[in-house]
Amino acid sequence: MKYLHLVWASLFRRKTRTLLTLVSIIAAFLLFGLLDAVRTSFDQAGHSANGAQRLQTGSKLSFIQTLPQALHARMLMVPGVKDVTYANWFGGAYQDPRNAVFSLAVAPNYLDLYPEILVSDAERKAFAATRTGALVGERLVERYGWKIGDRIPLQSTIFPNREGSKDWSFDIVGIMRSGDQKNSAFFDQMFLLHWKYFDETTPYNRGQVGWYVTQVNDVNQADRIAQAIDAISANSDHETRTQTEQAATAAWMKQLADIGLIVGSIMGAVFFTLLLLSGNTMMQAVRERTNELAVLKTIGFSDFSVLAMVLAESLLLLVLGGLLGLALASVIIPIVSANSGGMLKLPPVGAGSWTLGIALMLLIGLLVGALPAWRAMRLNIVDALAGR
């Protein structure tokens, strides 16, 4: 500890350079904190369904595999199940393929299971009564200037209609608002159409649904119910996997890409760059201080003391920046989650992330400091004082 002021003063000898390096380290560890939260969120999703009011059942094979609509009645018979609804992905685009509209073909009771979607009774009745009717999120309405009564052309990215065209038309009969901006703001951007209309119109879908959503009576029985639902289709050609909605989303993402690999690759690149950047800073810092290090040795600091001081400097730089970065991530993660409208539920920076983060700080600090510390240790006093 008695060397701390010396190490600190040496570190901030060139304030601008050290601060810029520190900012890079903070940014790298902020990114680490955020990405590790994403990875942890995907890892943790679906470990247990208990506590979840709604379960989602999809094909065990892949999210693009559909399930028979006949399962609906059998799932309703599972003890503990309160209600079951279903939906298909429609995947529409408005006017331009780049204007993707998050659209689902849903069962008549879909809104019963999502009380957080607010639709007036009159509009719900209008939706039930209109075969080509659609319920549209209010942010979509604002974005495209739509209103109730408009007939909206949507181009499906996958499904043709009976004429073989992918151009579909829907009548807006109601507007959806989110009753819980914190957890379900994304409903504001959804577009719901009738599953029956969809099923009867596209030749691609005959009595198939994309996934089921089950409401349970007792959240503590969710695991058991999930197993019972999956048991219905066991050893069939349409085996299912039932999990929480969050876990299902994570599973979809995992099928699209290996999140762990992506996160690992990004972090690898970030830390490799950090290694070069902070390594360069340390090398320059030591090179500039050759004379000062020689003076320390002259007055009696041993080779090992000088080595330890340079290493301590490098560790201090990394640990300082790393802790600030992770602390910043701890602050930002809840804000990101709160403002995602329920799309992202990132866990806080946990003990595991802190431990891994601190281990990375120490490892990078040692790697970065090793070469300059070695050079400082081997410094020849006479040559260094003579400027050779």
Partner 1 sequence: MTKLIEIRDLSKVYERGKQKVEVLHSINLDIEQGDFLALMGPSGSGKTTLLNLIGGLDLPTGGSITFEGRRIDRLPAGALAKWRAAKVGFIFQLYNLMPMLSAQRNVELPLLLTKMNAAQRRRNASIALGLVGLADRAAHKPTELSGGQQQRVSIARAIVSDPMLLVCDEPTGDLDRHSAEEVLALLRALNSDHGKTIVMVTHDPKAAEYASHTLHLDKGTLVEQAAAAAA
Backbone angles phi, psi at 325, to 5 degrees: -60, -45
Is residue 129 involved in binding partner 1 (CB under 8 A)? Answer: no
Nearer to partner 1, 45 or 309 (CB): 309
CB of 311 to partner 1, least distance (A): 17
Q: What is the DSSP string of 192-241?
A: EEEHHHHHHH-TT-SSEESEEEEEES-GGGHHHHHHHHHHHTTTSTT-EE
DSSP alpha helix (H) spans, 109-211:
121-129, 138-144, 181-184, 195-201
The region, left, alpha or beta by phi > 0 then psi within -120 to 50, assigned to residue 51 is left
Residue type (1 letter), 137: G
Backbone angles phi, psi at 64, to 5 degrees: -85, -10
Q: Which of 107, 202, 297, 326: binder of partner 1 (CB under 8 A)? A: 297
CB of 178 to partner 1, least distance (A): 56
Q: Which of 2, 98, 147, 162: binder of partner 1 (CB under 8 A)? A: 2
169 closest CA partner among 141, 195, 196, 198: 198
CB of 13 to partner 1, least distance (A): 5
**What tokens appear for 28 in the block?**
């790298």
**What tokens appear for 171 in the block?**
């009548």
Nearer to partner 1, 233 or 314 (CB): 314
Q: Whole-angstrom Cα distance, residue 61 to residue 59? A: 5
Q: Whole-angstrom Cα distance, residue 156 to residue 141? A: 19
Residues 214-273 contacting partner 1, CB under 8 A: none
Q: Which of 302, 331, 339, 355: binder of partner 1 (CB under 8 A)? A: 302
Residues 9-48 contacting partner 1, CB under 8 A: 9-10, 12-13
- Mark 362-381 with x for binding to partner 1 (rule: CB under 8 A) and - for no binding: -------------------x
Kindly state the DSSP code that residue 241 receives in the 8-state scheme.
E
Q: Which of 144, 252, 301, 374: binder of partner 1 (CB under 8 A)? A: 301
Residues in contact with partner 1, counted by CB under 8 A, come to a total of 23
**What tokens appear for 254 in the block?**
């995992």
Nearer to partner 1, 218 or 292 (CB): 292
Nearer to partner 1, 173 or 296 (CB): 296
> What distances in angstroms separate CA 333 from CA 23, 177, 306, 329, one per listed residue?
19, 26, 40, 6
Q: Which of 73, 261, 299, 351: binder of partner 1 (CB under 8 A)? A: 299
Nearer to partner 1, 15 or 143 (CB): 15
CB of 47 to partner 1, least distance (A): 52
Residues 263-292 contacting partner 1, CB under 8 A: 291-292
Q: Which of 104, 117, 135, 296: binder of partner 1 (CB under 8 A)? A: 296
Nearer to partner 1, 217 or 291 (CB): 291
Q: Are 320 and 357 in contact (CB under 8 A)?
A: no
Task: Identify the residue whose tokens are 């039930």.
Answer: 128
SS3 (DSSP) at 117: strand
The region, left, alpha or beta by phi > 0 then psi within -120 to 50, assigned to residue 236 is beta
Nearer to partner 1, 5 or 162 (CB): 5
Report the interface residues with partner 1, using CB under 8 A: 2-3, 5-6, 9-10, 12-13, 291-292, 295-304, 381-382, 385
